[in-house]
Structure 1
């Protein structure tokens, strides 16, 4: 029943990304919250990643969130109003897999940007947090597993058997957590990059 708008946007194009924020302001008069959830997960190691692939990852996984945040924060500052931002990062930013070199570089940058922006705007009461997401069951992940890893129809169940909770994370679970961080229920929390995963990073068997 809510008034929702869809603005098709290529976030790799800074002008389009910022125009999507402007469209929200035009439609609703303000931006209260932003979620940066677009991402690119194509594969490439340190030794075989091309400059073109590296630039694609930076454009989508780092530059786009930077300038979307810039546009949203400018609107919040213009109105002198508080706001909230959540960046979907990745647990891979902590080290990641060898075949995700460019992805890890960009996502690690986004984690640093999240903390920097949160620190810069804490007295503007703009709360900015991030989620280091672990392995999640999405349509995009299904396509990635089939394209890059030769996965068949039962890959989800096979992968789940190797995980502590016996399954992959689910999108609706992440969405609930994002809504919590966007809402007043998360209190004063800002500058946090939270591990949303079933593995404990730094823990060794």
Structure 2
């Protein structure tokens, strides 16, 4: 059975990834700190007759990740794909940014990616599963707005960690790649108590060469490709509608 384990899987991009993989025949294991969102999505997946499980999980805590992985193996089987999507941003002025806020973002976004990858890869290797790890990075690894240093550093670290793990896990035939989303609209992909219909201006849309803002489904399609593309490893795929290569001049 194909089993995908998704961190930060209950809302936004993670929710889109879960629904997309389920539609393509995967059993889905969700890890997320939001209990209500996770239970709602679990119910939706069950209604669609997808095999699924959910655990409230802090990915920065190895014991919590171990418990989630054990539940996944018990309920669904060992993951054949891991998608490291969990992450968040704290936006504060750089000169006033508390060290504990910087550390908190790094702990979830980058440390969490390492913890989950190491624990899942050990199980894949032990069972001789030639699986795949897909890390959700960001175009902010390469370009920035002010006052996002923790998030930017974490996403840059994920890109570097991706090619490092790809080489370290090559002998186990475990492929590792990353996806770097650009502007992805997630407000209408939240759990129902938080969902809202987004509105984008013409200027918003025209920042993108494809003429629209991205959706979680766009990132889910990229993750599925990298999960199944057997001759691709160590790569970072930018999925941003051409936004980061479009030159914009002030009028």
Give the TM-score band, short-chain normalised.
0.7 to 0.9
Secondary structure of the residue that 2:134 maps to in structure 1? strand
Distance 1:141 1:97 in 2: 24
Task: Supply the RMSD in Å over aligned alpha carbons.
Answer: 2.4
Partner of residue 118, structure 1: 166
Distance 1:179 1:191 in 2: 16
What is the CA distance between 1:67 and its match in structure 2? Answer: 0.3
Q: Summarize the Cα distance change of 1:68–1:140 in structure 2 as closer, same or farther, 3 Å threshold.
A: farther
Distance 1:38 1:156 in 2: 25
What is the CA distance between 1:10 and its match in structure 2? Answer: 2.0
Question: 1:44 aligned to 2:89?
Answer: no
Asked whether the equivalents of residues 34 and 69 of structure 1 are also in contact (C-alpha less than 8 Å), the reply is yes
TM-score by length of 2: 0.70
Aligned mate of 2:200, from 150, 153, 156 = 156
Secondary structure of the residue that 1:87 maps to in structure 2? strand
Question: 1:192 aligned to 2:235?
Answer: yes
Partner of residue 80, structure 2: 32
What is the CA distance between 1:174 and its match in structure 2? Answer: 1.3
Distance 1:53 1:75 in 2: 32
Distance 2:221 2:207 in 1: 25
What is the CA distance between 1:162 and its match in structure 2? Answer: 3.6
Asked whether the equivalents of residues 185 and 198 of structure 2 are also in contact (C-alpha less than 8 Å), the reply is no
Question: 1:177 aligned to 2:225?
Answer: no
Question: 1:166 aligned to 2:216?
Answer: no
Structure 1 unaligned spans of 5+: 143-152
The number of residue pairs the alignment matches comes to 194
Aligned mate of 1:58, from 106, 110, 119 = 106
Asked whether the equivalents of residues 128 and 191 of structure 1 are also in contact (C-alpha less than 8 Å), the reply is yes
What is the CA distance between 1:177 and its match in structure 2? Answer: 1.6
Structure 2 unaligned spans of 5+: 1-48, 191-196
Asked whether the equivalents of residues 137 and 156 of structure 1 are also in contact (C-alpha less than 8 Å), the reply is no
Partner of residue 148, structure 1: none
What is the CA distance between 1:139 and its match in structure 2? Answer: 2.2
Asked whether the equivalents of residues 125 and 172 of structure 2 are also in contact (C-alpha less than 8 Å), the reply is yes
Q: Summarize the Cα distance change of 1:106–1:137 in structure 2 as closer, same or farther, 3 Å threshold.
A: same
TM-score by length of 1: 0.85
Distance 1:71 1:171 in 2: 26
Aligned mate of 2:133, from 85, 101, 105 = 85
Which has the larger displacement, 121-130 or 7-16?
Answer: 7-16
Question: After superposition, where does 1:11-22 map in structure 2 within 5 Å?
Answer: 11-22=59-70
